[in-house]
Each structure stands twice: as C-alpha cells, then as structure tokens.
Amino acid sequence: MPIQQPSNQIKLTNVSIVRLKKGGKRFEIACYKNKVQEWRSGVETDIDDVLQIANVFINVSKGELAKSQDLQKAFSTTDTNTIVKEVILKKGELQVGEKEREHDLTSIRREIATLVSEKCVDPATQRPYPVGIIEKAMTEAGFSVRPGKNAKSQASECIKLLQTESKLPIQRARMRVRIVMPAADAERLRVRVAESADSVERDNLGTEEWETVMLIDPGQIRVLNELLQKECKGRGRLETLSFSATASS
C-alpha cells in the first residue's frame, strides 16, 4: 500500500527559490530557473511562466506550505497573488546553488572583461587588449565580481581598479565627437571646448558657423553637453561619431 504524502506538502524539482524573511518567519516561492531575473527586468511578463506553482511555502525543498494565519500576520493579507508578485518576487532574495553561483560569477566576470576590452586601449598603441589579458589583469588587481549587480556598472569600477592596482597599462578609449555652433558663439567658447579634447582633428570656422571634430575622454561628454546647453541655448549640437576611437595602423 503506497504511503500517502501529507496534503500540505508539494514536491518540486529543478526549481529556483526566492526567499523573504518577514514577521519572524521565512517565506519561499518556487520559480522556474532563470525566470526570476527576467521578471524583475521586465523581459518576462507572464507570472505563470515564472512560478512553478502559485503557493507560498515555509520550505520549498520540503514542500511545506505557509499557513494562512502566518501570511495574514506577516503580509496583512492572505491573497497569494499579491504576496507572491508584490512582495516576495519583488523584494525576496534569489537562492542560488553553489555550482550555479560559480557559473553565474564566471559568466559575469567574462562579460565585464569583454566590456573593459571594448572600452579601453593600450596607451602606447591605442589598440584594445584581448579579453584574456584583461581577465588576467583583473585577477592581478584583485577584482571581485559582485553578484546581483549588472556587468556594465562593474566594468567602470573594474577599469579604475586596473589603472591603479594592475601592471597593465590601460586607458579609456577616446570618443570621436563633432561639435557645431554659430560662429558668434564660437568666438566665446572655442577655447573652452578645446580644453576637453585630447586632440583636434578638424577645426573649421566659417562666417556663419564653427565645426570641430575632436577625440575626447568619454567623461568629457557631460562637460561639453552642459557647456552647450548653458552657453548656446539650443544653437549648438554635439554628435558622437564613434564610441571608441583607436589609432590607425
């Protein structure tokens, strides 16, 4: 005679768990792998494709469901849909297994190294480094990947660390920009604009307008935009011609 499983227990496999501690209790929901981040980023909008089952658990691995009185006490409601979507799925901590965590960190680390390779160059040659060399420099500099933070923001931190803590000569690749403004404004602003340039490729001052093409550090984009907005009142414009400008061979 088969042993009957208790009615308050549900067994799930191949599951990602989102956990939230509230009101002195631990609450969990069972989600499909890789779907939680897609939901949080807005890529996935169908809750049925995120949840394996629309229940709130005390312990997913043991299949123990949360009691109604515990839900009411912690969330002031027993409406499962509200608790799952608005509270646990939004604010809960995604539980990741050791192997999965290691794989994710390796993947993020590689993505960061790729971004750094795209954004930076060897100052001597003005050419980008291969991703493998960037990864070695990251190890040398003691860079640690932070799970849960996107690669793009970590890449900026990584560049700063490589510049100070590694032996790899590295600098941000220059951006090629074009600025156009009325000649009358150029008489006042020409010198100030040039101060943001690493080098000037074109400088044409006509009777009606001034055009310049420059290589700049990406950080100067904001400086130049603020200058144009404040001083030109919509009469000047800045265009990015290429994101990363490297030396010609």
Tokens of 181: 């403004």
- Length in residues, the chain: 249
95, 111, 138: which is the final residue of a domain?
95
Looking at residue 24, its pLDDT comes to 87
Looking at residue 209, its pLDDT comes to 93
Looking at residue 40, its pLDDT comes to 84
Query: Are 164 and 157 a contacting pair, CB within 8 Å?
Result: no
Judge whether 74 lies within some domain: yes
> For 179-213, how does the pLDDT look when each residue is reduced to its tens digit (9 = 90+)?
999 999 998 999 999 999 988 999 999 999 999 99
Looking at residue 169, its pLDDT comes to 95
- Give the separation between CA 42 and CA 229, rounded to whole angstroms: 34
Does 172 have pLDDT greater than 60? Answer: yes
147, 171, 195: which is the final residue of a domain?
171
Strand partners, 93: 19
The domain total for the chain is 3
The CATH number covering residue 112 comes to 1.10.10.900
Q: Are residues 33 and 91 in the same domain?
A: yes
Looking at residue 17, its pLDDT comes to 87
Does 80 have pLDDT greater than 50? Answer: yes
Query: Are 231 and 185 a contacting pair, CB within 8 Å?
Result: yes
Q: Are residues 124 and 162 in the same domain?
A: yes
148, 171, 194: which is the final residue of a domain?
171
